[in-house]
Amino acid sequence: MRPVGLYLAVCDEQSPMHTPSLASNAWHSTTRGSDIRLFQFNGYFVDRMRAEQGIAWILVLWGTFRLRVVLHSPDSTQFPFTGLAPLIGNEYEAVITCKTGRLVWVDVEREDGLGSRHVAEVPPGRYNCVLTGEEGHWEIEDPAHYPEGDEDWTLHMQAI
């Protein structure tokens, strides 16, 4: 994905977070003229994560990025607890409720309806989620030139 903004999210395709107006909704939830408006904007996404609607994180720079999804069994001991990438609000894990199991990667600041793409399918249910990795492909302009078998982040999901 080559986002237009610096905010990314992953959610179920029927999640309230899967909307082209996500950034506008977040901005309108803030207090005009407030010194903490950006914190309120980010807090909107923390609230969505706590409501199990999806996960969101902030990029450092623009670029082309790839996400891999790994599904862990409920009894797996391979679920990572170190090397975690921070989500919005400096959270390191979140629970996602997946009604359909069809996950989409959302370019939060793109409001033309073209800012999401299918990323994986998992069985419907609730999942504990953590993100590992970091952005590292800022120089790639065209997603077709992305290195084969490489990704910036891995979203680890474990059924609960």
Sorted by where each begins, the domain ranges of the chain are 7-159
What is the per-residue pLDDT across 39-63, written as a single tens digit (0 to 9) for each? 999 999 999 999 999 999 887 655 5
Q: Which string of b and e fits 65-84 if b means at least 16 CB within 10 Å? A: bbbbbeebeeeeeebeeeee
Question: What is the pLDDT, as a whole number, of residue 71?
Answer: 93
Residues 14 and 39: their CA atoms lie apart, in Å, by: 26
pLDDT of 153 > 80? The answer is no
Express as a percent the part of the chain with pLDDT over 90.
38
pTM of the entire structure? 0.83
> CA dihedral in degrees (85, 55, 127, 84; nearest 10)?
0
Q: What is the token pair recorded at 46?
A: 């923390």
Q: How does the average pLDDT of the chain come out, rounded?
A: 83
Mean pLDDT, residues 105-118: 80
pLDDT of 97 > 90? The answer is yes
